[in-house]
């Protein structure tokens, strides 16, 4: 497994959604790759921090502006 494949599987790994074979291959790569190990640690920290944030509603005007921006972005791609 290469770094790109590992990065694509990080969320599934953290959620425990990988098959036993993919998990073993993932962990084998992580054991020998400092870059992927660091990225995994960053994702774990981000998930931990996000879990401490309170849910707050998005103001209607902000939601409207975001939706318009995303529609414009998608139509230009």
Residue ranges and CATH numbers for the domains of the chain are 3-76 (1.10.10)
Quickly list H helices, 1-77: 3-14, 20-32, 34-52, 60-76
Distance CA 8, CA 54 (A): 28
Q: Alpha-carbon distance 43 to 49, whole Å?
A: 10
Give yes or no for residue 28 having a pLDDT over 70. yes
What global pTM score does this model have? 0.67
Residue 39 reports pLDDT greater than 90: yes
Q: Quick one: what percent of the chain has pLDDT higher than 90?
A: 78
State the average pLDDT over residues 32-50.
95
Asked if residue 46 has pLDDT above 70, the reply is: yes
d(CA 59, CA 16): 34
Band (pLDDT 50/70/90 cuts) for residue 14 is: very high
| Rounded CA separation 5/24 (Å) | 13
């Amino acid at each position: 497994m290469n770094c790109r494949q590992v990065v694509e599987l990080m969320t599934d790994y953290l959620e425990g959604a990988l098959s036993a074979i993919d998990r073993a291959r993932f962990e084998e790569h992580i054991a020998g790759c400092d870059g992927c190990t660091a990225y995994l640690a960053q994702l774990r920290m981000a998930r931990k921090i996000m879990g401490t944030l309170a849910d707050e509603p998005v103001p209607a005007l902000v939601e409207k502006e975001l939706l318009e921006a995303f529609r414009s972005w998608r139509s230009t791609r």
